[in-house]
Amino acid sequence: MICNNFKGRLVLLALALAVLCMGCSGGDDSTTSEQGGDFTHTPTADVTARIEDLKLLLPEEAYDTITEKSRDSQLCRERNREQLDLPDSPNGQWYYLYKNLIKGMAEWKEFANEGDENTRKLEIAAFLANIAQETGTGKQMDPTFGGPGCFIQEGDGSKWGSDEYSRDCNKLNPPTCAPAGYCGRGPHQLSWDYNYKAFGEDMDPNNKDLYFNDPDLLTKDPEIGIAGSIWFWGYADLGSSKDPDKPFKPSAHDVLVGKWKPTDKDKACGRTKADFGVIINIINGGIECGSGAENPGAAENRVKYLEEIAKEMGVTIPDGFLDDCSTQKNFAECVSYRPTPLVPTSRCGEDWIDANSFCGPCCTTNEDCLPEYPYCGGELNPKPGEKTCSCED
122-136, 231-245, 323-337: which is most confident: 122-136
Residue 248 CB-half CA count within 13 A: 23
User: pLDDT value at position 37?
Assistant: 65
Note the CATH architecture for domain 6-313.
Answer: Orthogonal Bundle (1.10)
More confident residue, 177 or 79: 79
Active site residues: 134
pLDDT at 199 over 50: yes
More confident residue, 335 or 32: 335
Mean pLDDT of the region 40-45: 96
Mean pLDDT of the region 149-178: 57
Listed in sequence order, the residues at least 6 apart from 111 whose beta carbon sits closer than 8 Å to its beta carbon are: 39, 105, 123, 230, 233, 234, 253
Each residue's pLDDT tens digit, 267-319 = 999 999 999 999 999 999 989 999 889 999 999 999 999 999 999 999 999 99
State the Cα–Cα distance between residues 379 and 135, nearest whole angstrom.
26
User: pLDDT value at position 352?
Assistant: 67
Q: What is the pTM of this model?
A: 0.79
Each residue's pLDDT tens digit, 375-389 = 777 665 544 444 455
Mean pLDDT of the region 92-106: 98
User: pLDDT value at position 378?
Assistant: 67
User: pLDDT value at position 111?
Assistant: 98
Each residue's pLDDT tens digit, 103-142 = 999 999 999 999 999 999 999 999 999 999 999 998 889 9
User: pLDDT value at position 24?
Assistant: 28
Spell out the domain ranges in the chain.
Answer: 6-313, 346-379
